[in-house]
């Protein structure tokens, strides 16, 4: 297990004022870092490049880790973090794609990112592009029925440039008997379940081949 | 309103959209099972831009948003209630909030086939689009008006709703985006939207009023209405084939500095009609038949 996200803590603190607790507890932090540091083919000077990979933060609440990563990678100036949630700031408690460079969707209401990602995967495939679409959702968000519509559509159509990351912090009120991965596997998805704090494991899962099928990576960040 | 047997609006839509799919690689179609039989050939030819998601209308709008974000011009089609009411939040967020557009094409209208009952009726659709910014709304009154309206919609990148109906006027009229004056009078102005025109013309025969026709109700042609009202007594009747009074606020805005009276005819808001039968029988209940329009007009004009 590796942990090389400590340099993000001061960025996180510019929004929350807390360097010690909240940033390390952010459930999405490690997955976001691995995506932007080692997986995604994106760059601040290519935010409109049609061949860029797409990352969709569907779980839009608590986006501080996302903003910290975007600042670290140069998509936004770190000083903007100080304006977080101010009127006129580009950064709010839910991201707005029309305001923030490099943010692919506005999110906050649960269950919208995955259906949009499916549409992007169809569009990129129709254009013959090799770009990939990654969408991050939460295990609680998975409750939304719109996700299950999209899981079925993506599986039946074999959208192999689509990857869903489910951050599993045991948030769903009624749980997922049989495991989250099983909900995807039955719809012809490739699946992996990893320790959501283990960067090498996350990286290996996100970069595994899954020809002819979409991929779900369940990142377990349950406490204790 | 009479029924058209030769070619329906839905068939005209399929024909023109198939041509657009053949000619413009930017055009995509998202279906939710409904009407898939009308698009079998293009769905074979363009499997990634003619997408049938099955009976999954939330995903249908999300997929359209994703296609638009990758540069396509998505056309989305199913029955009105399932296109507009069920995925209303997807229209708000997956299209509007993302800053992308799509062309939504519905069938069923307010009560095209009352034998199917309330579940397949969407008289509130246009009113719902009025709650979201930036939507153009077309309500064609004849199958021949569908082609030019669809072509104009596809050529843009904004958000467009095209409301098809099995009801039709006897003759098509040119599509201009503006209110078209069809007759001039002095007692008031009647605006007929889409397939209500034939009943409006029957109701106003021999009555000294102006009649305007439009198959495009949003954006609302305020200048066209104002020009017509300036040459009549300031009495306005709007006849719409969907929820009564949907355009009442637009009329009030257009005539904000003119003392005026207005009445609205459309699908009643005060009751759900638990009845099957024919569209003509439902026209009568809502006052959308020629006799009902004439009655409201007499009340407004006092003749």
* Pairwise CA distance, residues A53 & B54, whole Å: 27
Residues of chain B with C-beta less than 8 angstroms from the C-beta of A105? 69, 98
Residue A169 lies in a domain: yes
Q: With CB atoms and an 8 Å threshold, state whether B54 touches A152.
A: yes
Does residue A121 fall inside a structural domain? yes
Task: Report the pLDDT value the prediction gives residue B78, as an integer from 0 to 100.
Answer: 98
Domain annotation for chain B: domains and CATH numbers? 9-163 (3.40.50.970), 180-301 (3.40.50.920)
Question: Cβ–Cβ of A120/B66 closer than 8 Å?
Answer: yes
Q: Does B255 touch chain A (CB under 8 A)?
A: no
What pLDDT score was predicted for residue A63? 93
The answer to whether residue B159 neighbours chain A at the CB level (below 8 Å) is no
B64 lies within 8 A of chain A by CB: yes
- What 3-state DSSP class applies to B240? strand
Q: What is the CATH number of the domain that holds A168?
A: 3.40.50.970
Say whether residue A187 is in contact with chain B using an 8 A CB cutoff.
no
For B105-142, give the DSSP string. EEESTTTS-GGG-GGG--TTHHHHHTTSTTEEEE--SS
Mean pLDDT of B197-213: 98
- A4 pLDDT band, cuts 50/70/90, is confident
Partners of residue A109 in chain B, C-beta under 8 Å: 89, 93
Residue A1 lies in a domain: no
CB B275 within 8 A of CB B113: no
Whole-number pLDDT of residue A3? 60
The answer to whether residues A117 and A54 touch, using CB atoms and an 8 Å cutoff, is yes
Mean pLDDT (whole number) for A80-90: 97
Q: Measure the CA–CA gap between B254 and B239, rounded to whole angstroms.
A: 16
What's chain A's Rg over C-alpha atoms?
A: 16
Name residue, tokens 């959209």: B17
Give residue A1's pLDDT band: very low, low, confident or very high (50, 70, 90).
very low
Distances from the Cα of B122 to the Cα of B126, B255, B278, angstroms:
9, 29, 16
pLDDT (average), residues A83-90? 96
Please answer yes or no on whether B59 and A146 come within 8 Å at the CB atom: yes
pLDDT of residue B114: 97
Q: What is the pLDDT of residue A21?
A: 63
- The pLDDT, as a whole number, for residue A206 is 98
Closest-CA residue of A relative to B45 is A126
Domain count, chain A: 1
| B224, pLDDT greater than 90 | yes
CB within 8 Å of A4: residues ≥ 6 apart? A33, A199
If DSSP codes are grouped into helix, strand and coil, which group holds residue A158?
coil
Place of tokens 């003509």: B280
CA distance B297 to B287: 11
What gap in Å lies between CA B143 and CA B169, rounded to an integer?
A: 9
pLDDT at A80 over 90: yes
With a cut of 90, say whether residue A200 has pLDDT above it: yes
As a whole number, mean pLDDT of residues A187-195 equals 98
| Contact state of A126 with B46 under an 8 Å Cβ cutoff | yes
Distances (CA, A) of A121 to A126, A135, A157, A159, B51: 8, 11, 10, 7, 12
Give the mean model confidence (pLDDT) for residues B80-104.
Answer: 98
Q: What is the predicted pLDDT for the residue at A24?
A: 62
Average pLDDT, chain B: 97
Q: Quickly list DSSP for B205-239.
A: TT---EEEEESEEES--HHHHHHHHTTS-SEEEEE
Can you say how many angstroms the Cα of residue B190 is from the centroid of all Cα atoms in its chain? 18
The verdict on residue A115 lying in a domain is yes
- Cβ separation B98–A118 shorter than 8 A: no
Burial class (CB in 10 A: 0-12, 13-18, 19+), A19: middle
Angle between helices A145-156 and B57-69 (to 10 degrees): 70
Nearest CA in chain B to A97: B98
Report whether A118 contacts A162 (CB < 8 A): yes
| Residues A119-140, mean pLDDT to the nearest whole number | 98
Residue A184 has pLDDT above 90, yes or no: yes
What is residue A105's predicted lDDT score, i.e. its pLDDT?
Answer: 98
Given a cut of 70, whether residue B84 has pLDDT beyond it is yes
Chain B residues within an 8 Å CB radius of A55 = none
Is the pLDDT at A2 greater than 80? The verdict is: no
Does A138 reside within a domain?
yes
B199 with B290: CB under 8 angstroms?
A: yes
Domain hosting A210: range is: 6-42+49-220
**Minimum Cα–Cα distance from A120: chain B residue:** B66
- Residue range B217-228: average pLDDT? 98
Please tell me the least confidently modeled range out of A20-34, A87-101, B108-122, B145-159.
A20-34
Report the distance separating Cα A29 and Cα A165, nearest Å: 13
Residues of A in contact with B46 (CB under 8 A): 126
Is the CB of residue A105 less than 8 Å away from at least one CB of chain B? yes
Closest residue on chain A to B69 (Cα): A120
Residue A180: its pLDDT value, please? 98
Nearest to B59 among A96, A124, A149 (CB): A149
Cis peptide upstream of residue B219 (ω within 30 degrees of 0): yes
Spatial contact of A88 and A136, defined as CB atoms under 8 Å apart: no
pLDDT of residue B143: 98
d(C-alpha B116, C-alpha B114), whole Å: 5
The 3-class SS string of A74-111 reads: CCCCHHHHHHCCCCCCCCCCCCCCCCCCCCCCCCCCCC
Rounded Cα distance between B205 and A71, Å, is: 69
With cut-offs at 50, 70 and 90, classify the pLDDT of residue B6.
Answer: low
Is residue A86 over pLDDT 50? yes
Q: Is A27 contained in some domain?
A: yes
Q: Is any Cβ of chain A less than 8 angstroms from the Cβ of B33?
A: no
Report percent pLDDT > 70 for chain B: 98
Distances, alpha carbon B58 to alpha carbons A5, A70, B86, in Å: 37, 30, 7
* Residue pLDDT, tens place only, B122-174: 999 999 999 999 999 999 999 999 999 999 999 999 999 999 999 999 999 99
Instruction: Sort out which chain A residues have CB atoms less than 8 A from B33's CB and list them.
Output: none
Does the distance separating the beta carbons of A126 and B49 come in below 8 Å? yes
Mean pLDDT, rounded, of chain A: 94
> Rounded mean pLDDT of B105-120?
97
Say yes or no to pLDDT of A124 above 50: yes
CB contact under 8 A, B94 and A115: yes
**Residue A142, φ and ψ in degrees, nearest 5:** -60, -20
Helix and strand element counts for chain A (H, E): 8, 5
User: What is the average pLDDT across A135-146?
Assistant: 97
Partner residue opposite B66 with nearest CB, options A111, A118, A156: A118
DSSP structure class, residue B104:
E
């Amino acid at each position: 297990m590796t942990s090389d996200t400590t340099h993000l803590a001061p960025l996180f603190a510019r929004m929350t004022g807390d360097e010690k607790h909240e940033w390390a507890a952010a459930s999405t932090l490690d997955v976001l870092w691995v995506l932007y540091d080692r997986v995604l083919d994106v760059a601040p000077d290519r935010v409109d490049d049609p061949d860029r990979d797409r990352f969709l933060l569907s779980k839009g609440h608590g986006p501080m880790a996302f903003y910290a990563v975007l600042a670290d990678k140069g998509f936004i100036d770190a000083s903007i973090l100080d304006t977080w949630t101010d009127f006129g700031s580009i950064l709010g408690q839910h991201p707005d794609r029309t305001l923030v460079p490099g943010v692919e969707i506005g999110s906050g209401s649960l269950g919208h990112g995955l259906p949009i990602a499916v549409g992007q995967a169809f569009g990129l495939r129709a254009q013959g592009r090799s770009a990939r679409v990654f969408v991050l959702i939460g295990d609680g968000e998975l409750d939304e029925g719109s996700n299950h519509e999209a899981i079925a559509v993506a599986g039946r159509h074999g959208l192999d440039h689509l990857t869903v990351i489910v951050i599993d912090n045991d948030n769903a009120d009624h749980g997922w008997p049989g495991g989250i991965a099983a909900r995807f596997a039955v719809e012809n998805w490739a699946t992996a379940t990893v320790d959501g704090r283990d960067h090498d494991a996350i990286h290996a899962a996100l970069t595994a081949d899954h020809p002819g099928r979409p991929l779900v990576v369940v990142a377990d960040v349950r406490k204790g | 309103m009479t029924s058209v047997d030769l070619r329906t609006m839905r068939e005209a839509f399929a024909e023109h959209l198939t041509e657009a799919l053949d000619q413009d690689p930017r055009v995509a179609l998202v279906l939710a099972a409904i009407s898939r039989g009308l698009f079998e050939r293009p769905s074979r030819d363009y499997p990634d831009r003619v997408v049938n998601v099955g009976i999954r209308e939330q995903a249908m709008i999300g997929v359209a948003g994703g296609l638009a974000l990758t540069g396509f011009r998505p056309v989305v089609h199913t029955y009105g209630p399932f296109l507009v009411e069920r995925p209303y939040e997807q229209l708000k967020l997956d299209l509007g909030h993302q800053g992308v557009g799509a062309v939504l094409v519905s069938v069923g209208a307010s009560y095209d086939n009352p034998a199917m009952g309330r579940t397949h009726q969407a008289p509130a659709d246009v009113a719902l689009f009025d709650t979201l910014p930036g939507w153009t709304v077309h309500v064609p009154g004849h199958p021949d008006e569908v082609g030019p309206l669809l072509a104009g919609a596809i050529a843009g990148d904004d958000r467009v709703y095209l409301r098809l109906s099995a009801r039709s006027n006897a003759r098509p009229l040119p599509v201009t985006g503006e209110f078209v004056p069809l007759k001039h009078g002095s007692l008031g102005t009647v605006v007929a939207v889409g397939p209500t025109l034939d009943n409006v013309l029957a109701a106003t025969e021999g009555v000294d009023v102006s009649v305007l026709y439009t198959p495009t109700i949003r954006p609302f042609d305020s200048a066209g209405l104002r020009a017509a009202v300036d040459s009549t007594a300031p009495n306005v009747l709007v006849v719409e084939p969907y929820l009564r009074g949907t355009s009442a606020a637009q009329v009030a805005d257009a005539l904000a500095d003119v003392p005026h009276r207005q009445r609205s005819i459309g699908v009643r808001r005060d009751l759900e009609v638990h009845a099957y039968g024919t569209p003509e029988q439902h026209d009568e209940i809502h006052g959308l038949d020629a006799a009902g329009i004439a009655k409201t007009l007499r009340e407004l004009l006092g003749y």
